[in-house]
A and B are shown apart, each in its own frame.
Chain A
Amino acid sequence: MAAFIARRLLLLPLVAFGVTLLIFALLQFLSPAERAGLFVTDPRQLSQIGSIIRKYGLDKPVHVQYWNWLKQLARGDLGWSQTARMPTAQAIASFFPATFELTFYMFVPIILIGIWLGTQAAVHKDRFVDHFSRFFAISLRGLPSFVWGLIVLMAFYGWLGWFPPGRLSLDAEFFVKSAQFHTYTRLMTVDALLNAQWWIFLDALRHIAGPALTLVLVEMALLVRITRSSMLEVLRQDYVRTARAKGLDEPVVIRRHARRNALIPVITLSSLLFVGLLGGVVLAETIFNFPGIGKWGAEAAVQLDIPGVTGFAMFIAFVTVLGNLAADVLYATVDPRIRLQ
C-alpha cells in the first residue's frame, strides 16, 4: 500500500507540469495585447499597452515565458494574481480554507442524509419513502444550482434574514481581525471554537448554511439514487437471504450485511463528489459572495489573470489526484478483496 501511495504521489509533479504547460500553450492563441488587457482596467490606459507588454514580457516566445515562470516557481513564487490583489500562493492559502470548510459542511450532510435516504428507499421499495426520495432526487437535480442558490438566498436571507451572504457578518469580521482573536487554521468555525467564541462559530455557520443548503439539495440527489440501486442489488443477494433465514433482526441484516456491501460504489461517488464540490462551489460562492477559491478561480479565468489561472489549475489538479488516491485507499479498507498494487 505504501508503495502504491508513493507512486501516486510521484505523479503529482507530472500532472502539474502537464496542466501548466497546457495553460501556457492555450494562452498563445491570444495576442500579447489581449493578454495585457488584464492590466488595463480602463480605456484611459490604452496608450500604455506597449509598455505593459514589455514590462511583463508578454511578447516573448511561449517557451521563454514558461521557462521564466518555472524559474519563478523554483523560488516558490507563483506570481502576482491581479484578480486576488495578492500573490497567487497567498491567494490559494487564503481562499482554499474557506472553500474547504464550506465543502466539509456540505459533504457531511450529503453523505449522511443521502445514504440514509437511499437505504430507506431501497428497503421500502415502491412505497411512499421510495417515491418521495426519487421524486425529490429528480426534481432537485433537474434545477441548475444557481436557480436553487437564488431561491435559497431569497428565502433565507431576503425573507427570513437567517442566512446572510458573505463569510462573516461585519461585527464578527472586525472581531476576528482584532488582537482578541487568534487565527490557527483559517477554518472559521474551527478557529472560533479554539478561541472559545461561540458567537463567531454560530455566525460562521449562519453564513455557510446558505451555500451549503443549495448544494446539499442538488448534490444529494445522485447519492440517494446510487445508494438505492446499489442496495436493491445487494438485497437480492443470497447472503442476505441466508442472513434473514438465520433469523437475524431485520435492522442488523440491513446495516451489517447489506449496506456495508452496497457502499462500494457510494465511496467512489463520494470521493469524486468531494473533489467535485471543491470545484463546483463556484456558483454557490458567487451567489452568496462567499470568499472561496472557486469564485476567485472563475474571476481569474474570465479576466485572463495568467498567474492566477495557472496556480488555480495546478492546485485543483493536486486536489483531484489526492482525492482519487484517498478513494483508492478507502476501497481497500472497506473491501478486503481489493488489493492495491
Chain B
Amino acid sequence: MNLKRQLLVLLVFTLAIALVGIPGSAQGQQPVKNPDTLIIQTIGDPESLDPSWAYDTASSAVFLWNIYETLIFFNGGRTDQYVPMLATEVPTVANGGISKDGRTYTFKVRQGVKFHDGSTMSADDVKYSLMRFMMMDRDGGPSWILLAPILGFENQATRDDSGKLIPTIWDQVNRAIQVKGNTVSITLKRPYGPFLNILGQWSMVVSKRFVVQNGGWNGTRGTLAKYNNPEKPDVQELFTKASGTGPFKLESWDRATGTVSLVRNDAYWRAPAKLRRFVVQKVEEFGPRRLALQNGDADIISVSRADQPAVTGIPGVRIVDDLAELVNSPAIFMNLNVVTEGNPDIGSGRLDGNGVPPNFFADVHVRRAFAHLFDRDRWIREAARGKGRVANGPIPVGMLGYNPKGKWYEVSTERAIAEFKEAHGGQVWERGFKFSILFNTGNVGRQTAAQMIKEAAEALNPKFKIDVRSVTWSSYLGLMNSKKLPMFLVGWAADYADPDNFVVPFMHSTGTFTGRQGYKNAEVDKLIEQAALETDTKKREAIYFRLQEIAFQDVPTIYIYYLVNFVVMRSWVKGWYHNPIFFEPYQHAYRFFKG
C-alpha cells in the first residue's frame, strides 16, 4: 500500500467515525439555542404556498394548520375523530349538521376570527375558499379531492377531455355550497362517508379580500376562465403571499435558499403560539443536516431510515420511533398487459426463454408464484431496518377495513415452483423467461425488493432471468404511465384518512395504479363503489374485508409492508405530537415550544 493510499484510508476512516458520532463531548448540556425560534431542516422546498396549487408534502407541511386552518381538525392522534376549528362544532346527524340523507353538511362558522391581513373571516370567505380550491384546478393539482365527492366521482376536473372549461361547472359548485347567515352548507351528489375526513385537511380558508386585492379571482363565473388552470405557480397571487387565520403568518419565502419563515400571529383567535418564529430550511445533503442537529442549529431534521444510526446516540437529541403512517409503499405491481412497442424490458416479447409475452402476468399462477417467492419479512429487515408491519392488502393497519386476519402467501419455493409449472400451460417452467424490473435511482427500498425477486426467481430455474436496472424518477413515472414496465414498485400516501383513498388507486379498474397494470375485476369495481356510499361502518368494513380476500386471491399486486416512521429532534423541542395524517412532524407547530 503506497503512502497516498494509506492517507486516503486514514481520512475515510476518520470521516466515517466522525459521521457516526462524536462521543464524550458535553453537548448534551448545551443551553437552548434560539429559544423562541423552531428551525427545521428538510430535504425539499415547497412548490407553491397557494393551497389550490400545492399537492406536494413539502408545501402542505408548511402552510396547512400553520398558516391556513380548516373547518374541523383531527382530535389528537386520531384520524377518525374531529374537533371544531374554524367551524364551531363538528356536524353530526344527531346535532343536525349532517342531513338525514347523508348528503348535506352544515357548518356554523366561528365568529370574530381575524385573517392575517386584518379582515374578519365570514361564511362568504369559507364558501369562496372552497370554490377557489376546486375552480383553480391546475393540471396535476389537488382540486379533484373536493370536486369528486361534491359533484360525484365521475367528475374529477373542471375541464373536459379536450381541456375546455365545462360551462356549467361554476353553477354546479356554486349551487352545492350555500351560505345562510353565518352557516355554510355543502350538498354532495351522493352520500360519501369520508367527506368529513376530507374537510379535516382540504377545507383551508383564505381571505377573499386579500386574494382579490392581490389580483386574484373574485369568485364570479365570468372571470373564472382567466384563472382556471394556471400555467405556472407564480401567476397565482398566493404563490408567495398568504393571509390565513392560523397561529403563524408568512414572513418570507426565499426561493434562492429554500428557506420559509413564519412568525407568530399575535391576533390569533386562540392563545398565541409560544414560538415567535418557525423556519423551514431546505438542506438536501444529510451531512450538514446532521451536523446542524448536533450543533443545535436545527431542532428537527429529516432523516432516512438508512441514516438513522448516524443520529442515534447524539447527546441532546431525541428520536421517537414506531409512528404509524397512512402509507402503503412500496408494493410490487405486475402488469397484466404490457405495451410491447419499443420496449426493451420484456426481451423478445415471447415466451421463448428470452423474453415474456405481454400477457405473461395475466396468468394468476405466475402472479401467485412471485407472491410465494418474495420474502417480505426479510425485506423489512434489510430495507426498513426491521421497522414496519407486513401488509396483506391495500388498506394500511389502523384504518377502517384493515383485516388483521387477512391471509397472504407463505414464502415457499416448492409452492412457487408448483405455480410456475401450472402457468401458461407449463411453458413458463419449460422455456423460462426474461424481463427487467426497474427502480428509480437512489431508492434503496425498491432496489432491494427488485434484487430479492431476481435472486429468488433465478435460484429456482436456470432458465429464469431477471434484469434489475435503475432510471431517473421522471423516466420511471413516464414508463409506468405508458404501461411498459412488466413489474413496477410504487406506493401511495393518503390524501385523506379513508380506505376508499387506498382501494381506488390500488384496485379499481380506473385507479391510478390498476389502470397502469391492466387489472380489471368487475366485482372489485362494484364493491369499491358500494363501500364509498355505505354509511354503516360495520357493513363498510365487511366490504373491505371482501376486497382484501380478492386482493389475496387475484394477487395482481404483492403488498409488502405498512411503513412506520420516526422523528429526530433536539430534546429541548416540546409540544410535539404525532397524527398519522400529518405530512411532516412540524405540521401543527402551534403547540411547539423550546425549553
Which interface residue of B55, B476, B492 has the most chain A CB atoms within 10 A? B55
Cβ–Cβ < 8 Å partners of A154 in chain B: 15, 18-19, 287, 291
Which of B117-125, B229-237, B356-364 lies at the interface?
Answer: B229-237
Q: Does A280 contact B (CB under 8 A)?
A: no
Which residues of chain A from 125 to 150 have any CB-CB distance to chain B below 8 Å in the complex?
A: 138-139, 142-143, 147, 150
Binary A-proximity of B1-41 (CB < 8 A = 1, otherwise 0): 00110011001101100110010000000000010010100
Cβ–Cβ < 8 Å partners of B231 in chain A: 55
State whether A164 touches B297 (Cβ < 8 A).
yes
Contact of B139 among A33, A55, A98, A157 (CB under 8 A): A55
Which of A78-86, A193-201, A252-260, A269-277 lies at the interface?
Answer: A78-86
Q: Does A107 contact B (CB under 8 A)?
A: no
State whether A95 touches B256 (Cβ < 8 A).
yes
State whether B256 touches A34 (Cβ < 8 A).
no
Q: Does A185 contact B (CB under 8 A)?
A: no
Which residues of chain B from 488 to 522 have any CB-CB distance to chain A below 8 Å in the complex?
A: 490-493, 495, 505, 512-513, 515-516
Q: Does B261 contact A (CB under 8 A)?
A: yes
State whether B254 touches A177 (Cβ < 8 A).
yes
Query: Considering the chains assembled together, what is the distance between the CA atoms of A127 and B232 in angstroms?
Result: 64
Cβ–Cβ < 8 Å partners of B56 in chain A: 41-42
Q: Closest CB of chain A to B549's CB: distance in Å?
A: 25
State whether B478 touches A35 (Cβ < 8 A).
yes
Can you name 4 extra interface pairs (CB under 8 A) apart from A46-B477, A49-B477, A85-B45?
Answer: A30-B478, A43-B491, A44-B495, A85-B255
Cβ–Cβ < 8 Å partners of B481 in chain A: 33, 46, 49
Contact of A45 among B34, B55, B234, B258 (CB under 8 A): B55
State whether B295 touches A87 (Cβ < 8 A).
no
Query: Considering the chains assembled together, what is the distance between the CA atoms of A174 and B279 in angstroms?
Result: 11
- Count, chain B residues at interface, CB 8 A: 72
Can you name the residue of chain A whose Cβ is closest to the Cβ of B494? A44
Q: Closest CB of chain B to A4's CB: distance in Å?
A: 37
Can you name the residue of chain A whose Cβ is closest to the Cβ of B235? A80
State whether B295 touches A161 (Cβ < 8 A).
yes
Q: Does B252 contact A (CB under 8 A)?
A: yes
Contact of A46 among B229, B288, B516 (CB under 8 A): B516
Q: Would you give 19 A-B contacts (Cβ < 8 Å), ordered by A?
A: A34-B478, A37-B476, A37-B478, A39-B140, A40-B474, A42-B55, A47-B512, A84-B255, A85-B45, A86-B234, A150-B15, A154-B15, A154-B18, A154-B291, A158-B294, A170-B34, A170-B37, A177-B254, A302-B472
State whether B252 touches A177 (Cβ < 8 A).
yes
Query: Considering the chains assembled together, what is the distance between the CA atoms of A284 and B18 in angstroms?
Result: 19
Q: Does B183 contact A (CB under 8 A)?
A: no
State whether B22 touches A158 (Cβ < 8 A).
yes
Which of A13-21, A286-294, A318-326 lies at the interface?
Answer: A286-294
Cβ–Cβ < 8 Å partners of B112 in chain A: none
State whether B482 touches A31 (Cβ < 8 A).
yes
State whether B139 touches A159 (Cβ < 8 A).
no
Binary A-proximity of B211-231 (CB < 8 A = 1, otherwise 0): 000000000000000000101
Which interface residue of A31, A35, A288 has the most chain B CB atoms within 10 A? A31
Interface class of chain B by DSSP = mixed
Binary A-proximity of B60-80 (CB < 8 A = 1, otherwise 0): 000000000000000000000
Cβ–Cβ < 8 Å partners of A82 in chain B: 47
Known: A139-B7, A158-B22, A289-B288. A86 touches B255 (CB 8 A): yes
Query: Considering the chains assembled together, what is the distance between the CA atoms of A92 and B19 in angstroms?
Result: 34
Contact of A52 among B4, B140, B476, B491 (CB under 8 A): B140
Q: Closest CB of chain A to B225's CB: distance in Å?
A: 15
State whether A151 touches B232 (Cβ < 8 A).
no
Can you name the residue of chain A whose Cβ is closest to the Cβ of B25? A159
Binary B-proximity of A8-34 (CB < 8 A = 1, otherwise 0): 000000000000000000000011111
Known: A37-B474, A165-B288, A286-B285. A143 touches B233 (CB 8 A): no
Contact of B287 among A31, A40, A159, A287 (CB under 8 A): A287
Q: Does A317 contact B (CB under 8 A)?
A: no
State whether B15 touches A159 (Cβ < 8 A).
no
Q: Closest CB of chain A to B584's CB: distance in Å?
A: 14
State whether B37 touches A37 (Cβ < 8 A).
no
Cβ–Cβ < 8 Å partners of B292 in chain A: 164-165
State whether B288 touches A288 (Cβ < 8 A).
yes
State whether A143 touches B8 (Cβ < 8 A).
yes
Contact of B474 among A174, A288, A303 (CB under 8 A): A303
State whether B479 touches A34 (Cβ < 8 A).
yes
Can you name the residue of chain B whose Cβ is closest to the Cβ of A55? B139
Q: Does B131 contact A (CB under 8 A)?
A: no
Q: Does B259 contact A (CB under 8 A)?
A: yes
Cβ–Cβ < 8 Å partners of A288 in chain B: 288
Q: Does A268 contact B (CB under 8 A)?
A: no
State whether B39 touches A139 (Cβ < 8 A).
no
Q: Does B480 contact A (CB under 8 A)?
A: yes
Binary B-proximity of A298-341 (CB < 8 A = 1, otherwise 0): 01001110000000000000000000000000000000000000
State whether A30 touches B285 (Cβ < 8 A).
no
State whether A153 touches B478 (Cβ < 8 A).
no
Known: A177-B254, A289-B288. A33 touches B482 (CB 8 A): yes
Query: Considering the chains assembled together, what is the distance between the CA atoms of A141 and B141 in angstroms?
Result: 48
Query: Considering the chains assembled together, what is the distance between the CA atoms of A74 and B562 in angstroms?
Result: 52
Q: Does A94 contact B (CB under 8 A)?
A: yes
Contact of A37 among B7, B12, B477, B515 (CB under 8 A): B477
